[in-house]
A and B are shown apart, each in its own frame.
Chain A
């Protein structure tokens, strides 16, 4: 069975500062990893995904994430945040045994302050 842990439920950050959102997963087989963002009163939007290949993945809106197999982590980073990055961020995993069933972490709320 797979599981995802997002270590921070809330991350306050000042505008133009960097941010890192932590995600750890457990799975018995090879995994695919995703980061989704949910703005208030909206659905989820894919930021980036890791399927295979380079462990550094670049996504939309200046976000990037690094897949670390030995530490079973997939942390999300942005070097300089904007007010508009205030949102809920979900890390998710699917593995080959689960088809396209996504298991989500609990979410991290990012609050960008001016």
Chain B
């Protein structure tokens, strides 16, 4: 099983809402990632978790809050977002955090902030 799943597929939220994105993998991978992708642009790294600990935070605003409850699950909690946060949010995982490990991507959650 080389699948990364993400829920929900689509999410529409107001600027005062609180919502969460969920990502799951059962490949035994120890590194998990959140990316943000705007239309017609490449993915931008947001966060990296390694062995369930936050390893990299790419200066992401605090209205995005990641959480890694266990080695298979990664959440992204959203609060007080802005319309410019509308994007495709991609989760990925890799066997480890060292260079050269292939990252497996999920299908993404398309987020619209109204």
Report yes or no: B102 in contact with A96, Cβ–Cβ below 8 A. Answer: no
Report yes or no: B31 in contact with A100, Cβ–Cβ below 8 A. Answer: yes
The 4 A-B pairs of least Cβ separation, nearest first, read A104-B42, A43-B105, A44-B105, A32-B100
| Per-position 1/0 for A29-65, Cβ under 8 A of B | 0001010100001111110010100000000000000
Closest beta carbon of chain A to B38's beta carbon, Å: 11
Chain B interface, >50% SS class: loop
Interface positions, chain A 96-114, Cβ under 8 Å from B, are 96, 98-102, 104-107
Report yes or no: A100 in contact with B40, Cβ–Cβ below 8 A. Answer: no
The answer for the CA separation of A92 and B111 in the assembled complex, in Å, is 25
How many A residues touch B, CB cutoff 8 Å?
24
Closest beta carbon of chain A to B74's beta carbon, Å: 14
A73 an interface residue at 8 Å Cβ cutoff? no
9 sample A-B contacts, Cβ–Cβ < 8 Å, listed by A number: A43-B92, A43-B106, A43-B108, A44-B105, A46-B104, A51-B100, A100-B101, A100-B103, A104-B42
Provide the residues of chain A in CB contact with B108, threshold 8 Å: 42-43
Closest beta carbon of chain B to A42's beta carbon, Å: 6
Chain A interface, >50% SS class: mixed
Known: A104-B42, A104-B43, A107-B40. A98 touches B99 (CB 8 A): yes
Closest beta carbon of chain B to A47's beta carbon, Å: 11
Provide the residues of chain B in CB contact with A107, threshold 8 Å: 40-42
| Per-position 1/0 for B41-54, Cβ under 8 A of A | 11101001000000
A94 an interface residue at 8 Å Cβ cutoff? yes
The answer for the CA separation of A68 and B106 in the assembled complex, in Å, is 31
Provide the residues of chain B in CB contact with A25, threshold 8 Å: none
B97 an interface residue at 8 Å Cβ cutoff? yes
A66 an interface residue at 8 Å Cβ cutoff? no
Report yes or no: B107 in contact with A90, Cβ–Cβ below 8 A. Answer: no
Report the nearest A residue to B90, measured CB to CB: A43
Report yes or no: B45 in contact with A102, Cβ–Cβ below 8 A. Answer: yes
Closest beta carbon of chain B to A107's beta carbon, Å: 5
Report yes or no: A106 in contact with B41, Cβ–Cβ below 8 A. Answer: yes
Given contacts A32-B100, A100-B48, 10 further A-B pairs with CB under 8 A are: A32-B99, A42-B107, A43-B105, A44-B90, A46-B103, A51-B100, A95-B99, A99-B55, A100-B100, A106-B42
